[in-house]
Chains A and B, each alone.
Chain A
């Protein structure tokens, strides 16, 4: 019985008790749902770790002088902050959601390679522990920024073979291998394991986006890994790929690095676009506007993202023709992205909107994303980038993406699917409080970075000229507010996982295969594999999603 209509859910009795066996989350489970939650919880813990580093950064920057931590500690802080936030928070949490929901959404019982899936997950805590251990080696952790550009990253003041930079490279490599395993698994699962009747154009947008993102991983990660291995060799056995004193070329590393790391931002943002595309139709009660073109845009973004990386090298001694070519390609990314933004806006327009916490977060994140998009266009223009490159303008831009859009989007996803994953409802009041603290905090923290950057304040500085103080104080206040905003979230998650109201199968009256199974779903997901008979997002059309059996 699948016709999602109002009557449908009234008869929805609470399902089975949520599994009480918490030990499974500490085991080598091969269930994609357990692995999904393992990823999500691990990622959130690392988000808090990265957040503590961010608080120290903002604490140092609240005054112009370097007075809180030593300069070497400051450099370690932003290096670790960036690294943990990207490799510890955004990638793992997105992999977590993809793990949990891709099989459910396409009507599969598990991922294609469950054991590989578990191995890939367990590499993340290993990489994280390694990274944290680097605080205790002589010379401290890596201090060359998350780009780790040589020659700075090759300077090894302690002379030890085991040093922060070596450990950093190993941790990044482990996380990279884990992602490659994940990518193979996701692509295979999505191509091979869709339920009967689920053609590509009946697949939910979240799945389209995960697919596009994982394709990027497949072509990009080997390049980054190669670059990292070459850097490691330079650092440990004295090869000279990037070392200019021995005839190496430091700029070559930048190409290796950004060839992957630019597309990586689309690996991060695409699944969030997927989350938006799932949430807006549900809370506007309308079909996703322009479903097909939105789906294709994801692939287009993935494709174009492979040929834009040189926009990070505009001032690195790049010849004019390259600057101009990559300016044009970069600007073109805004076309498929714009299509999506317009499609979401049209989905919301004229709907019957309801602002539960998931919608609040997604809606707020969309507004912040549009802002980030505007500053992104200015950055793609060579003459402007020449001025603001490596300044706080860039830091402001990418935090509107990484906090404002990705992190807020992930919170939207957590609230949206929390009932499905735990079988419990979260507390709406705490959720709304979390939203408002996060939305205000994001703007207070990251907006001031734009005027600072335009005025010429550089990133990665532990002290700065006194005329930049005003906006830095505002930013720090916003930063601390963001720190505080996680408290109601943690309270909410722990409290409602233990005491929350039982969640029905489909609390949002949403259309999708994952909402046809119990909350939380049984181990095998579907008693019988469903046969899909229509496009997703059929809100207002009262047509069944799957065939009666």
Chain B
């Protein structure tokens, strides 16, 4: 290869790399707010994959479009192009590079996965130590222990490899067609709104009464299917105070789209206050969109068919 060509190629590669890096940085703005420790990890990985992907996409389509512009046949030229049938070196290179890239991507994804400590259900069933995996704890959890022990609903259960204190907050999640109910076992509180203390490791015990549902909070980047007749344990760590949305992510029938709930992440003090307040409320029937739509004549232009009746609207201490 001529020196000139090498220079041109390197210049193009550097330019592509710069553009790809820029696109990779841009990916952060495509995501919802980073409200859980997991979200930082996922977004970092996504940014990396898109950077790499952008480089490949721009490289390949750039080559194609360059050809489309500059390698056109003249109008009356019916001759053939050069009869190049292949090039062993090139073919080996473009097989080897993807193989290496696959290992790189897979290893990196694995590391992120480990740090997230997304647990498969059953794996950590009622074992109060994270097994082998470093949890995506909100870092740093500093001097939080005082608050933790003061709170009757949390307990210090383990330390992870980096010796951060992790406070587990156990909450039960019950999913049914089409409602979410959250139960705080220590105080026996039930709610249709999920309240969580910030910077605490949350551990959910999830169950479904009927069909598959999916627990998904986009701002947390976590998702897990809930399978009827099984206990699903699930963990994550909210790190940002605010109000988010929980949705059902596994299609669950007619009113699937209505199966949403608010998620309120608040300071441990506010959280305690909320618990105390909720404990004092009398249980009453919560609003349920599916149930009220089902009871009403449908308002759409095209009417539908008989459908599965929604389960009883939940009776809870706290609803919004």
Q: Which residues of A contact B (CB under 8 A)?
A: 6, 66-73, 75-76, 138-140, 143-145, 149, 151-152, 155, 157-158, 244-245, 247, 250-251, 284-293, 315-320, 323-324, 327-328, 331-332, 334-335, 338-339, 341-343, 345-346, 348-355, 363, 366-367, 370-371, 374-375, 377-378, 381-384, 386-387, 389-391, 451, 454-456, 458-465, 509, 538-541
Question: Quick one: given A352-B79, A377-B105, are A151 and B63 in contact (CB under 8 Å)?
Answer: no
Q: A285-B73, A382-B113 are in contact. Are A69 and B214 (CB under 8 A)?
A: no
Q: B190 at the A/B interface (Cβ < 8 Å)?
A: no
**Which A residues are in CB contact (< 8 Å) with B302?**
68-70, 73
Are B80 and A539 in contact, CB atoms less than 8 angstroms apart? yes
Contact of B245 with A465 in the complex, beta carbons under 8 Å: yes
> B242 at the A/B interface (Cβ < 8 Å)?
no
Q: Which residue in A67, A149, A354 is a CB contact (below 8 Å) of B73?
A: A354
Of residues B87, B120, B251, which shows the largest number of chain A Cβ atoms within 10 Å of its Cβ? Answer: B251
> Given the known A-B contacts A157-B308, A349-B63, A389-B223, are A456 and B105 also in contact in the complex, defined by CB atoms under 8 Å?
no
23 contacts between A and B (CB under 8 A): A68-B302, A72-B306, A75-B254, A138-B306, A151-B212, A152-B253, A157-B306, A318-B120, A328-B102, A345-B60, A350-B81, A352-B79, A353-B68, A354-B73, A355-B72, A366-B64, A374-B50, A377-B53, A381-B109, A386-B118, A387-B221, A456-B32, A462-B257
Task: Please give, as numbers and ranges, the residues of chain A lying within 8 Å of B113 by CB-CB distance.
Answer: 320, 323-324, 382-383
Residues of chain A lying within 8 A (CB to CB) of residue B109: 327, 381-384
Instruction: Check A324–B301 contact: CB distance below 8 A.
Output: no
Binding-face segment, B7-15, B39-47, B137-145: B39-47
Assess the B212–A386 pair: CB atoms within 8 A. no
B86 at the interface (CB under 8 A from A): yes
Q: Which residues of A contact B218 (CB under 8 A)?
A: 387, 455-456
Instruction: State A291–B308 Cα separation when bound (angstroms).
Output: 55
B271 to chain A: which residues have CB within 8 Å?
none
B39-67 to A contact mask, C-beta < 8 Å, 1/0: 00110011001100110110011011001
Q: Indicate which residue in B72, B228, B299 contacts A151 across the interface (CB closer than 8 Å).
A: B228
Other-chain contact of B42, A285, A383, A465 (Cβ < 8 Å): A383
B82 / chain A contacts, CB cutoff of 8 Å: 286, 350, 540
On chain A, the residues within 8 Å of B224 by CB distance are 315, 317
Interface pair B81/A539, CB less than 8 Å apart: yes
| A67: chain B residues within 8 A (beta carbon) | 299-301
Q: Which residues of B contact A456 (CB under 8 A)?
A: 32, 216, 218-219, 245, 247
- Check A70–B45 contact: CB distance below 8 A: no
B230 contacts A317, CB within 8 Å? Answer: yes
For A70, what are the chain B residues with a Cβ–Cβ distance below 8 Å? Answer: 298, 300, 302-305
How does the 8 Å CB contact mask read for B89-127 relative to A, with 1 for contact and 0 for none? Answer: 011001100110010011001101100101111110000
Q: For B308, what are the chain A residues with a Cβ–Cβ distance below 8 Å?
A: 155, 157
CA distance A367 to B72 in the complex (A): 18
B211 close to A152 (CB less than 8 A): yes
Q: How far is the CB of B298 from chain A (nearest CB, A)?
A: 5
B235-291 interface with A by 8 A CB criterion: 245, 247-258
A251 touches B249 (CB 8 A): no
* Of the residues A143, A343, A350, A451, contact of B71 by C-beta under 8 Å: A350
What residue in chain B is nearest A4 (Cβ atoms)?
B80
Chain B residues near A390 (CB-CB < 8 A) = 214, 216, 223, 249-251
CB-defined contacts of B304 to chain A, threshold 8 Å: 69-73, 140
Nearest neighbor of B108 in chain A, beta-carbon distance: A381
B121 pairs with A151, CB closer than 8 A: no
A sample of 16 more A-B contacts (CB under 8 A), given A250-B227, A351-B71, A363-B64, is A71-B257, A76-B305, A143-B253, A144-B253, A157-B308, A290-B91, A315-B225, A328-B102, A346-B90, A374-B50, A378-B50, A386-B42, A386-B222, A451-B30, A456-B245, A458-B249
A250 / chain B contacts, CB cutoff of 8 Å: 212, 227-228
